[in-house]
Amino acid sequence: MTTYIGTATSRIDGHAKVTGTAKYAAEFDAPHLAHACVVGSTIAKGHIAHIDTSQARSVPGVLDVLTHQNRPRMASDDSAYKDDVAPEGAPFRPLYNDRILFSDQPIALVVAEEPEIARFAASLVRVDYRVDQHVTDVHRQRHSAFALEPVKRLDDNPFAPPPSRGQPEHSLAAAHARHRGEYYVPIEHHNPMELYASTVVFEDEGRLTIYDKTQGVQNVQRYVASVFQLDPSHVRVVSPFVGGAFGSGLRPQYQVVLAVLAALALKRSVRLVLTRQQMYGLGYRPAMLQEIELGVNAHGALEAITHEATTVTSQHENYYRQETGWSGLLYRSDHARYTHKLARLDLATSCDMRAPSAATAVYALECAMDELAVAMKLDPLELRLRCYSERDQHNDRPYSSKGLRDCYRRGAEAFGWSRRTAEPRSMRDGTELVGWGMATGVWEALQVPIAVRIALTANGHAEVSCATSDIGTGTYTIMAQVAADMLGLPLDNITIRIGDSTLPQSPVEGGSWIAASVSNGIATTARAIRAELLQLAKAVPGSALRDLAPEDVVLLDGQLVSKHDAANAVSIADAMRHGEVDRIEQEKTASFHHTGSHSHNTHSAIYAEVKVDEQLGIIRVSRVVSAVAGGRILNTKTARSQIMGGVVWGIGMALHEETLIDHTFGRIMNADIAEYHVPVNADVHDIEVIFVDEPDDTVNPLGIKGLGEIGIVGVAAAIANAVYHATGKRVRDLPITLDKLQR
Ligand code: MOS
């Protein structure tokens, strides 16, 4: 029964958010709350020789200044700092010792009665360093022969490059036409609206309730208990609302460690809010250098592809994702080689950022495909259709569903692609050059084990709880829609509880996997509720459901109804009254094991129009059409918002975003959103989102694939290709700023 699933239901938390009643981590209060401020290192690598906190301590209202020398006890073993999604290596441990691993690393924490006092006193902490030589320039690192490490291909490493196939070098040498290109994506930062913050409430017997900005309350709960060797039941992490995170909140961030340190030192509640500038000392999208070579045979079909990526990580951890194999999902080619290297820099560890790896790797791939089409004098869409893969090239298996052809077609129709003239600089609008470009997007449809509890009361209200988060994607709303349909209740009768580590088990909200996982979790638990209700209903005197099995009944309009004859029904209220219960509760874990017979992916086709001022080189993205095949769409309104957000971010990736480092100091120069440019309203014009039908009962029982990340993939390539079409100038390193166009 689908009354709510698939509709444009407005966010159930929308009212709370726009009226300010939705509370974020830094907005929770506690009696006697102290405030902390971080002091960051001014060097990128070395040791603290001496740290003088006396002046800071003398400021009235300062309660303490914590450093590695006087902090409370923390675990000494690296492994205690491994959170659920930590990469290989030794995680950063704030205030642990005198070592400096990156610029603006936290080295002291001032705690005071007021935040302003803490901030002022933090400016008075004096530090002497023993400075070591740092390296923060990936281009320099790349040309030093010993600085790059190949990512190893181990059986249990899903992030390693896929195995090579055929004889790519041989095939390329014999190719009818080939294209080789080098593409660069700089470091980018997430810049969520909500600042990183933790409010640690110090309770009786040292119990802690931590309001934290995170994408995974249970991940933070386990991590804090481990780092401080606390009884896990004494640590509760709460995060009912998240003001954006985009991957930056998958791992626990250092402010939660520091806030807990201060609370334990003072035996008092403490709040720590990072400044916007300090958030540039957390993770980032790794800069990525890519070399791609493509070869086609005499029939104009792709034969060979080689893709080599170099990505940035820290000296202490190996963060990377599977970057190079996306072409194997999109295009048929018998010969392929994928390699991935890590460049270690003296920076914080890189981390996931919306569509990690696909956003960057598909950018390069889809620009390379465009260049190949130009070389072949072929329409770029036609080239993609010629190379269309019906099977995953890595495993030689089919897709559970792949609506990409429909995306190409419907996107092209909506955009008017057939009216494109092939020659660069051939389309104009007054003084502006017009360019039309297109690209493909691809992401994974993942599902993770998750537990959901449903408590149903006799008055037909249900509370649905799970420790997942809503990072702004609309999780509250889709959970309510699915629960309402599965339980046959009005949407308003559903209460959703999430973002609390004491609720049923959930992994971090990431990878676009929560919508499918939690929906199937709700469906699974709702089935158990229905079975229990049926037992009660059968006991009702004269019950028309006496001979029915759970599969024979549905919950509809507050009643248990026979699927075979809608006249045979028992109301929830009657069933519970006769059973003398006023509430039933079930908790089930849903996990869905794929047999490995199919690959599961989402896809998109993006068409972009740019208008370029010929004199000044100013680029405007005047139109984008994004056609998405993402399985069953739970909510057409929140889904569209997800894709639009991804497109906007793709505009930023193509034209604006770049974290700039002064390599002399190893320090980020544009650590704020005045100088780190993101698209603003004036940069965003017409965006059309199309969802193609993509029924899929193999990916999971409800056919849900997830939409959090597919929206950004391919957008930067479509825009870059449009810029080439407008100007005849191919810029391969992002962002495409006007100086690069003029060169
Ligand atoms: Mo997403 S980068 O897994 O939050």
443 alpha carbon – ligand 1 mean position (Å): 12
Residue 29 has pLDDT above 90, yes or no: yes
DSSP, collapsed to helix, strand or coil, labels residue 438 as: strand
Q: What radius of gyration do the chain's Cα atoms show?
A: 27
Residue 593's pLDDT is what? 81
What is the overall mean pLDDT for the chain?
96
Atom of ligand 1 nearest to the CA of 215: 4
Check pocket membership of 521 for ligand 1, CB cut-off 6 A: no
What pLDDT was estimated at residue 70? 98
pLDDT band at 639 (very low <50, low <70, confident <90, very high): very high
The residue-averaged pLDDT of 670-681 equals 96
Q: What phi and psi values does residue 141 have, to the nearest 5 degrees?
A: -65, -35
Ligand 1 close to Cβ of residue 251 (< 6 A): no
Describe the strand order of the beta sheet including 288-296 as a list of residue ranges: 148-150, 335-344, 302-313, 288-296, 177-185
Instruction: Give pLDDT tens digits for 583-630.
Output: 999 999 998 888 899 999 999 999 999 999 998 999 999 999 999 999
Asked whether residue 155 carries a pLDDT value surpassing 80, the answer given is no
For residue 28 the two structure tokens come to 């929770």
Neighbours of 139 (CB within 10 A): 12
Mean pLDDT value of segment 134-152: 81
pLDDT at 674 over 60: yes
> φ and ψ at 35, to 5 degrees?
-125, 140
Residue 94 clears pLDDT 60, i.e. is over it: yes
Atom number of ligand 1 nearest to Cα 709: 1
pLDDT score for 205: 87
Task: Assess whether pLDDT exceeds 70 at residue 1.
Answer: no
Q: Tell me the per-residue pLDDT of 714-738, one tens digit each, with 9 for 90 and over.
A: 999 999 999 999 999 999 999 999 9
pLDDT of res. 145? 56
pLDDT in tens, 538-594: 999 999 999 999 999 999 999 999 999 999 999 999 999 999 999 999 999 998 888
Which residue CA neighbors atom 3 of ligand 1 most closely? 510
Q: Is 680 exposed, middle or buried (0-12, 13-18, 19+ CB in 10 A)?
A: exposed
Can you tell me which residue has the tokens 């059986």? 155
Q: What is the pLDDT of residue 2?
A: 74
- Is the pTM higher than 0.95? The answer reads yes
**Which DSSP helix (H) or strand (E) runs through 184?**
strand 177-185
pLDDT of res. 643: 98
Long-range contacts of 77-84 (CB under 8 A, 24+ apart): 80/226, 80/227, 80/229, 81/223, 81/226, 81/227, 82/226, 83/219, 83/220, 83/222, 83/223, 83/251, 83/252, 84/216, 84/218, 84/219, 84/222, 84/223, 84/507, 84/508
Q: Is the per-residue pLDDT at 289 higher than 70? A: yes
Q: How many CB atoms lie within 10 A of CB 591?
A: 13
Question: pLDDT for 307-361, tens place per residue?
Answer: 999 999 999 999 999 999 999 999 999 999 999 999 999 999 999 999 999 999 9
The CB of 328 under 6 Å from ligand 1? The reply is no
Average pLDDT over residues 226-230: 98
Residue 646 predicted with pLDDT over 90: yes
Please identify, by atom number, the ligand 1 atom nearest to the C-alpha of residue 512.
3
Please indicate whether residue 319, judged by its CB atom, sits closer than 6 Å to ligand 1: no
367: CA distance to ligand 1 center in Å?
A: 24
Atom number of ligand 1 nearest to Cα 352: 2
CA 589 to CA 311: how far, in whole Å? 37
What average pLDDT does the segment 256-281 reach?
A: 98
Give the per-residue pLDDT at 595. 86
Q: How far is CA 555 from CA 215, 488, 527, 532, 566, in A?
A: 33, 5, 10, 12, 11
Ligand 1 centroid, distance to 134 Cα (angstroms): 29
- Residue 353 beta carbon below 6 angstroms from any ligand 1 atom: yes
* Cβ of residue 352 lying under 6 Å from some atom of ligand 1: yes
Each residue's pLDDT tens digit, 361-396: 999 999 999 999 999 999 999 999 999 999 999 999
Q: Is the CB of 706 under 6 A from ligand 1?
A: no
State whether the beta carbon of 646 lies less than 6 angstroms from ligand 1: no
Average pLDDT, integer, range 499-519: 97
Is residue 13 predicted with pLDDT exceeding 60?
Answer: yes
Residue 462 has pLDDT above 70, yes or no: yes
Q: Is the pLDDT of residue 146 over 60?
A: no
Picking from 510, 511, 481, 505, the residue whose alpha carbon sits closest to that of residue 493 is 481
Burial class, 170, CB count within 10 angstroms (exposed 0-12 / middle 13-18 / buried 19+): exposed
Give me the pLDDT at residue 141, please: 74
CA of 95 to the centre of ligand 1 (A): 27
Q: Is 432 a catalytic residue?
A: no
Distance CA 228, CA 205 (A): 15
Burial of 531 (0-12, 13-18, 19+ CB in 10 A): middle
Note the residue count of the chain.
743
Compute, in angstroms, the gap from residue 603 CA to the centroid of ligand 1: 17
Q: Band the pLDDT of 157: cuts 50, 70, 90.
A: confident
What DSSP assignment string belongs to 123-144? Answer: TT-EEEEEE------HHHHHTS
Q: How far apart are CA 398 and CA 109, in angstroms?
A: 54
Unique residue bearing structure tokens 């302003």: 116
Share of the chain above pLDDT 70, in %: 99
DSSP line for 57-107: HTSTTEEEEE-TTTPPP---SGGGG--TT--EE----TTSSSEE-STT-EE
